[in-house]
Structures are given as C-alpha cells and as structure tokens.
Amino acid sequence: MFRFAKEQKVAKIGGVTFGGQPGDYPTVCCFSIFQESDKIFDKGARRKGFNEERAAELLKTCDKYTAELGVPAMADIVASPGEKFNKFVDFVVANSTMPFCIDSITMQTKIDGAAYCAEKGLLDRMFYNSLTIWEENIETEIKEIAQIGVKHVLLVAFDMADQMPSGRITGAQKLLDAIEKVGAKFETIIIDTSVLNAPATAMCGLANKLIKEKWGYLGASAPSNGSYMELKKYREKGDFKAWAGIDAAVEALGAFFYNDLIFTGPMAGASRVMPAVALADAFLATTVFDETKKLPPDPNHPLLKLWPDFANQLNVAWDKAAALKKVER
C-alpha cells in the first residue's frame, strides 16, 4: 500500500509543486552545478570564472527535459568555502526559471548565500541545503537563516550509531527539536535521509516511508552519491555505458521509492537521468492507480504527459470493471 493515512505535506518552491501522496506529483531532480569538479571550470581555473556558454547549455537542457517529460528540475548551486554565491545565483536566475538551492560545506558560506537571495527577493525560489546533525552550532545556524527569512529548508538526517532507517528518524528528530527550541518557523521542511552507497538508496526509501508515516514531511535522498561511488572502477575498466546504466537505474529506483526530491548528481547527466525518472514516476502513478483508481492531479505528470492514451485506458478499464461488478450483484 503506497498511500498514507497521515496527511502529506505539499511544497511549492519557485513555481514547482511536489510532495503530497505518492503518485500525485513528479519527483524533482536536483542537479548540481558549479561544484569543484564541474567541467564548466577549466582545470585549476575556478577563480578565473566559468564557461558561461556551457553552463547556460546545461540549464537549457534541464528546462527542455522538464517541458518534454514533466519532470521538474532544480539547480543545486554549490559554492566552495569562503566563496560567494552571488555570481552563481545571478547566472542561474538569468538563464532559467527553475528553483534552486544553495549548497556549501561551511555554515557561513551558506548563510551569506541565503542573505544574498533575500536581498535579491529570491527566497520563494530558493531552499537552504542544508541543516545537518553534524553542525556543532546548529541552533545558531537555524536562528540566522530564520532571521534572514528563509522559507524552505532541507534537513540531512542520519545517526552513525544506528545506520538502519530508524536512525534517520532519530537524526530528523534532533534537527526538528533544534528548530522548535529556537522558535524558528519554515514554510517547507524536506528531510534528506542520506546515502552511503547505491544499494543503501533502499534504506533511504524505507526511512522516508517512516518519516511520511510519522510527520507527513517530504522525503529526499541523493541516489547519485551512491552511483558516483561506483564510477571510479568503471572508468578504470573503460566502461562508462555500464556505469551510466547503474546511475539511471538507481535514480529511477529512488524516484519510485518514497522520494519527493532526489539529488541527481552533475547537471551534465540530465539527459540520462530525467527520462529514467519520468518512467519511474509513471510506473509509480500506475501502481497507485491500482490502489486508488485515481490518476495524478497534476496534468504535467509524466504518466499523463507521455502516456495519455494508456492513462485513459486505465480509467476506462476501471469503469468497465466497476460496471461489471454492479451487474453481477
């Protein structure tokens, strides 16, 4: 049974609606851009700037697949420690309408990025990536982003003492307690249940299921963290196509298994990942139809957008089956 008795929260970030009951809305693909290894930077030339033509093409490709497939894309804008988000945020906003998150391993860099987005009036379109249980000054961080006016936040939940799905609940509870303690209020809370390797994506799905049962929050994870751990050995064998199959598969499995948002690796992989996620979303919506006899409410859902004839056949088949049962009675 995929549906939950608990009411499921729905997020609206930058014009993208996601969350709700499984099968209602497409899974959001959040692709990284401007991270250290991104090919839009020449080797050793990060401080000199980036290849704007290449970066714009990456954003346009994501927008193209969103329009064609119905799968929303977001940009995970990554800044190095001590680096300002300003130029990266400005570039994404100038070249795409997609929502985005600000992402850095250091707290102050993220806070400064959030403040810049507030200054530019972009907080409806931005989510904060992320609040983590590893941050020693987590209450300070929560206070500061709440004062800035951040509306949408990602919580990374994990417990090294318990690496089963239950440990993600423990980690999430610690972060939720910290938010409550400082009196912060956020419009959207998304809980990322962390990936250790590709098969561990299953643990994330199970943890997200527990989170949805307990709180109704949106669930997320980063299947790409698992697949990219496998990349080195396939590169050594010169077998990129085999690895690409693994990556597409783990992203699709993540989309099917209680993830409202998945972090899908570098934006260069959009042409591989987004079609796989579109199929997974259609697969999920079809599975849910068997349970609910209802199609997705979002007209841009991949099932309705890519397989409209099949979706109509589902309704017709159900109507016929229901009519037959009435006659038999």
**pLDDT, tens digit (0-9, with 9 covering 90-100), for 159-177:** 777 888 998 999 999 999 9
Q: What's the gap between Cα 10 and its chain centre?
A: 13
In this structure, the strands spanning 261-266 and 218-221 are parallel
**What pLDDT does 169 receive?**
94
The ranges of the chain with pLDDT < 50 are none
Please tell me the distance from the alpha carbon of residue 50 to that of residue 64, in angstroms, as a whole number: 22
CATH tag, 17-328: 3.20.20.20
> Where do the domains of the chain lie?
17-328
Phi-psi region of 257 (alpha: psi -120 to 50; beta: other; left: phi over 0): beta
**pLDDT, tens digit (0-9, with 9 covering 90-100), for 276-320:** 999 999 999 999 999 999 999 999 999 999 999 999 999 887 766
CA 269 vs CA 25, 74, 98: distances in Å = 22, 13, 17
* CA dihedral for 231, 234, 236, 240, sign (positive or negative): negative
**What pLDDT does 305 receive?**
98
Judge contact between 160 and 187, C-beta under 8 A.
no
Please, what's the largest Cα pairwise distance for the chain? 76
**What pLDDT does 162 receive?**
83
**What pLDDT does 328 receive?**
60
